[in-house]
A and B are shown apart, each in its own frame.
Chain A
Amino acid sequence: MRSRVWGFAISLIVASACTVMLVEVVLHGQARGAGQTAQPAPAYRAPRTGDGKPNLSGIWQSMNEANWNIEPHSADFPRLLAMGAADAMPPGAGIVEGGTIPYLPAALQKRKENYDKRITREGDPEVKCYLPGVPRAMYQNMPFQIIQGPEFIMMAFQYAGALRTIYMKPTPGPADSWMGWSNGKWEGETLVIDTKDFNGLAWFDRVGNFASDKLHVVERITASGPDHLAYEATIEDPQTFSRPWKISFPLYRRKEANARLLEFKCVEFSEEVVYGHLRKVPLN
């Protein structure tokens, strides 16, 4: 009698365990099935904000060499020889899907010209402390903070105090700008941001990769763990590229105790590049 009771209890436990496993198999099976379509269901479900959306808040930073060159590249000489190895370009596997940006021939020529003048007054906007544009702001080697509300998702960047406003209620852009005009929406776990109305003056990196004011960027940001975001973007600009292309990389949460966005007002640091030719008494 006693053993029967125990046997029943045990079978009950085993049966419920099986049910749980079965349910899991079914759910995961569905997830995998969905994964074969356009958007893979994420393995990770982010904590929620007060209004039930995936909470992407925090201070984030890329950990790659894309700001030097978004394409795969070997190590290279410093931009200024006087800087020696300290400014030498670190090697990078790149963030461009397929490795090569599909430039139109004229645009490829312009990229070469950009490279040649990259540390001059007509060169890399970063050298001049200009706003970084999109997507460059997302992988510059400085942190940025996501401030997430229902109506606006703000991205505050340490570099140059740049800011992106993501309008979660679609709002038309009033004019062209450095950072473009961003409208966002949620697709399940993913924040999808559509950005256009660029002024065409920003670069993608320090070697002169660029786009025109016809640039259209669609970004997808998904939490892939408590401290990681998966970032990908589709880049389209029929005036510059022969087809749309993609970039992707992880973003990492800044984990230092009391991590803060600090201040990097870089205008002063750029002034000799921008105005040095107008000095009364030239340097040197």
Chain B
Amino acid sequence: MNCRCLASLGALALAVGVAAGLMAPQPMAGQAQTAQPRAAASAPAKPWTGKTPEGVPDLQGYWTNNSYTPLQRDPNMTKEFFTKEELAADEKRRAAQQEEQTTPGTTGDVHYDFTQFSLDRSQTRLTGNLRTSMITDPPNGRLPARVGADAGAAAPAAGGGRGAGGAGGRGAAGAAAPAAAAGGGRGQAAAPAGGARGGGGGNATYDQVQNISIGSRCIWSANTVPIMMPPGYNPAYQIAQGPGVVMILIENQHEVRVIPTDNRPHAPSGVKPWLGDSTGHWEGNTLVVETVNYNPRTLTGTFQGASDQLKVTERFTRIDEDSIRYEFTVDDPKTWVQPWKGEMPFVKINGPIFEHACHEGNYGIANTLNAYRQEEKKAAEAAKAAQPAK
């Protein structure tokens, strides 16, 4: 209980940490759905023809990919697409789940009133994606088997942490533990991530800042890496274009992707950014972006142990005034037995986007560490007082 209260002092910043690990493994259950006609997704009325002054497709504007759509289809889900009514019900259910994470009248409730701080996902426009998973290939909506994995055994799957809002950061051991247990090299000596935070492993997470998750420390928002998953909150983006370049601002942690569109070669492979190295070109109406050379910690963290062969290809296609179709292909022959693909919409929102100075205002980390030091001091004093007088 003590642990839980202290963890809650981590406040808003810690909620970010939960989003990390977009492919947190979970046990796979039976599935195999029949694919429904893909035409069930919204079909454009007429093709988008807007161009920039330089004559390339105009993707500019403020966008969101905010949704509850999981990366992988729920094992119990038998359909590729919801009906609109089913989607509305699902969104309502998941929004309620997020609300439930605060217990009225507790300290945690004060710090985790999600709606008060715009952390509740349902407060931003949702994309209305009818898909029951982002993954479209394999057709069962789930990650393909890992190379060398026993076909019948547990295969990695996603999602536990993603939909769960702030659970991990608040010291709920159950939510975070599976990721650490099956993570395959997720933790590092210098920066053990994930499960340690849950409380099961004691308070070592809070011995020093380096043990706390990268999202909580405002190093970056791991889910917004290419592939660009909704970050959970602040799911706002601005796309700006100039001659030969597309820039994508991710509001969450003011992440800026500057993508050259002249198909220039990648930076030398000795340069390994957290976001990988992206280079792009236009194919008709579509911006195609290829990303390689991810930082090893992105591979072990976000991509759950993918290899240095990881290549992500993103395709941005403006469908109409209100939407962009975002498709991705993840290819890593050393990690998965086949490439896997997914798609989701980005839809328009109102701007502007304001400065997200996360690190600069990260009081949560200092307050949490300080609280643990105070607790330790109190405990030491109590132990001293309990000793018999000389």
- How far apart are the CA atoms of A75 and B359 in the complex, in Å? 32
- How far apart are the CA atoms of A270 and B265 in the complex, in Å? 32
Task: Determine the chain B residues whose CB is within 8 A of the CB of A154 once the complex forms.
Answer: 240, 242, 247, 249
- How far apart are the CA atoms of A263 and B256 in the complex, in Å? 10
| CB closest residue in chain B, given A164 | B355
Tell which of B209, B254, B265, B360 touches A258, judged by Cβ atoms closer than 8 Å.
B265
Task: Determine the chain B residues whose CB is within 8 A of the CB of A50 once the complex forms.
Answer: 52-55, 243
In the bound complex, do residue A263 and residue B242 qualify as a contact, i.e. CB atoms below 8 Å apart? no
In the bound complex, do residue B54 and residue A281 qualify as a contact, i.e. CB atoms below 8 Å apart? no
**Is A99 part of the contact surface with B, judged by Cβ < 8 Å?**
no
**Is B217 part of the contact surface with A, judged by Cβ < 8 Å?**
yes
Residues 132-163 of A contacting B (Cβ, < 8 Å): 145-154, 156, 161-163
Binds B, one of A27-35, A172-180, A188-196: A172-180
- How far apart are the CA atoms of A49 and B241 in the complex, in Å? 12
**Which size bracket describes the interface of A in this complex?**
35 or more
Q: How far is the CB of B241 from chain A (nearest CB, A)?
A: 6
In the bound complex, do residue B372 and residue A131 qualify as a contact, i.e. CB atoms below 8 Å apart? no
In the bound complex, do residue B273 and residue A263 qualify as a contact, i.e. CB atoms below 8 Å apart? yes
Task: Determine the chain A residues whose CB is within 8 A of the CB of B254 once the complex forms.
Answer: 161-163
For B, the interface residue count at a CB cutoff of 8 angstroms equals: 50
Are A147 and B352 also in contact (CB < 8 A) when A263-B275, A275-B365 are? no
- How far apart are the CA atoms of A149 and B241 in the complex, in Å? 6
In the bound complex, do residue A177 and residue B357 qualify as a contact, i.e. CB atoms below 8 Å apart? yes
- How far apart are the CA atoms of A261 and B271 in the complex, in Å? 11
- How far apart are the CA atoms of A263 and B273 in the complex, in Å? 6
Tell which of A152, A163, A262, A274 touches B273, judged by Cβ atoms closer than 8 Å.
A262
| CB closest residue in chain B, given A264 | B273
**Is B86 part of the contact surface with A, judged by Cβ < 8 Å?**
no
**Is A25 part of the contact surface with B, judged by Cβ < 8 Å?**
no
In the bound complex, do residue A145 and residue B258 qualify as a contact, i.e. CB atoms below 8 Å apart? yes
- How far apart are the CA atoms of A202 and B331 in the complex, in Å? 43
- How far apart are the CA atoms of A253 and B41 in the complex, in Å? 46
In the bound complex, do residue A131 and residue B369 qualify as a contact, i.e. CB atoms below 8 Å apart? no
**Is B32 part of the contact surface with A, judged by Cβ < 8 Å?**
no
Residues 233-255 of A contacting B (Cβ, < 8 Å): none
In the bound complex, do residue B258 and residue A156 qualify as a contact, i.e. CB atoms below 8 Å apart? yes
**Is A51 part of the contact surface with B, judged by Cβ < 8 Å?**
yes
Tell which of B240, B243, B249 touches A49, judged by Cβ atoms closer than 8 Å.
B243
Tell which of B220, B242, B354 touches A265, judged by Cβ atoms closer than 8 Å.
B220
In the bound complex, do residue A260 and residue B219 qualify as a contact, i.e. CB atoms below 8 Å apart? no
In the bound complex, do residue B369 and residue A161 qualify as a contact, i.e. CB atoms below 8 Å apart? no
- How far apart are the CA atoms of A274 and B276 in the complex, in Å? 27
User: B-side interface residues toward A, CB under 8 Å?
Assistant: 52-55, 60, 206-210, 217-220, 238, 240-245, 247, 249, 254-256, 258, 260, 264-265, 267, 271, 273-275, 277, 352-355, 357, 359-360, 365-366, 369-370, 372-373, 376
User: A-side interface residues toward B, CB under 8 Å?
Assistant: 49-51, 55, 57, 129-131, 145-154, 156, 161-163, 165, 167, 171, 174-175, 177-179, 201, 258, 260-263, 265, 267-268, 270-271, 274-275, 278-281
In the assembled complex, 8 residue pairs joining A and B whose CB atoms fall closer than 8 Å, in A order, are A156-B256, A177-B357, A258-B264, A258-B267, A260-B260, A267-B217, A275-B369, A280-B206
| Nearest 6 pairs of A and B residues by beta carbon | A50-B53, A278-B369, A263-B273, A51-B53, A147-B242, A280-B207
